[in-house]
Structure 1
């Protein structure tokens, strides 16, 4: 258990930590400013994505908007269900109207066939657009499939007329900002309760990600 102190002592400790939290916020703002100034790569490949209503191009995925966020969702063609971690991330994406208000579209992309994607999407209760890249090299070209193994990632694209550009991508812990559950757990005394964390002796911990399940499987 954390030490028990007076209210005045707690307020002093909280004020000291707030200084560091504000430094972190300003650092994040600085990194975001640098991200907006990254160079970009024009995409010339003619990728085709399968959907329930027929094939779409990468340009089509923008749905008329200027910006596109792609969640490279781990779901291989021979899998029966999607990745638990990718699913947790998708659970955190609410109504897309908020992104649409900022001229930004969002889509899940996986190699599994459309039928499997639709069935799993219905099971999870999501209303997110989800397309299959199984008939193209999209996953391989963006590092979401390497030597036949799936990798989770987030990519961002910008459209200028009919030209499409790749502006940013992240893997691994770079995707954590999309998973609010981590930020919420970071606010608690026990944190994420994973072995890599710097926590006091005796705090509950387990190997990273071992606890993750599909939201209907806990």
Structure 2
């Protein structure tokens, strides 16, 4: 634990009240951004995407399962992977626990990956999750949303110095670096209205942090995320932490 300034209770309370005012302002700003997300124009989804599910091949509209809203987490689990991405797996821990609450608000939550369905379901059983997980038929669904990359698009990255964290994650998924970074994580949202599916929102990178609940908690600890200068990622699958 690094050294830190020590003060009196009165100094703490004064600084805490100042910080609280900023936190409340940030909350109000977050409410404003949430409103703007809801006001984004809806885009009709005209392409006939196909998905392999536990109940056969389905269209995107079928994945709502009787609800009017759909959230899809694009889980990094490519055809060459032997296990899911550890970071995506940490996100899925949060998603799985919240799926039942989302269903109560007319929202279906699923994960989508390009690996064969039997691989996905076996990994889901290992992790103890219960959300619906579908395998895309072809790569268009992830590609059209910007979560699948070609070798040409990745060439400069692959010819450069590969960050140790990327090599670590590739090894953890049982594939090579190219196989790993071909896939990208993301979240997309849809509405079903009068039989038509509309895309309403897409995000990736730090836009996924609301589904990474541990970061919000770490941000409130003395050391914070404490990731500076770390060459490898501290995250592991929840069954790999050992005696922590």
Q: How high is the TM-score relative to the length of structure 2? A: 0.82
Distance of 2:19 and 2:146 partners within structure 1 = 38
Distance of 1:51 and 1:157 partners within structure 2 = 18
2:199 partner SS = strand
Q: Shift of residue 206 of structure 1?
A: 2.3
Match of 2:220 in 1: 187
Distance of 1:6 and 1:134 partners within structure 2 = 62
Q: How does 1:1-218 map to 2 (within 5 A)?
A: 1-93=3-95, 94-135=97-138, 137-147=140-150, 149-195=182-228, 206-207=230-231, 210-218=233-241
Distance of 1:52 and 1:99 partners within structure 2 = 21
Distance of 1:143 and 1:216 partners within structure 2 = 30
* Unaligned ranges ≥5, structure 1: 196-204
Q: Shift of residue 138 of structure 1?
A: 0.9
Contact 2:53 2:133 in 1 (8 A): yes
1:156-176 CA distance string (max 9 Å, x none) = 011102100011101101100
Superposition CA RMSD, Å: 1.3
Larger relative contact order (CA 8 Å, sep ≥ 6): 2
**Greater share of helix:** 2
Distance of 1:6 and 1:78 partners within structure 2 = 57
1:167 partner SS = strand
Q: Shift of residue 3 of structure 1?
A: 1.6
* Unaligned ranges ≥5, structure 2: 152-181
Distance of 1:72 and 1:21 partners within structure 2 = 31
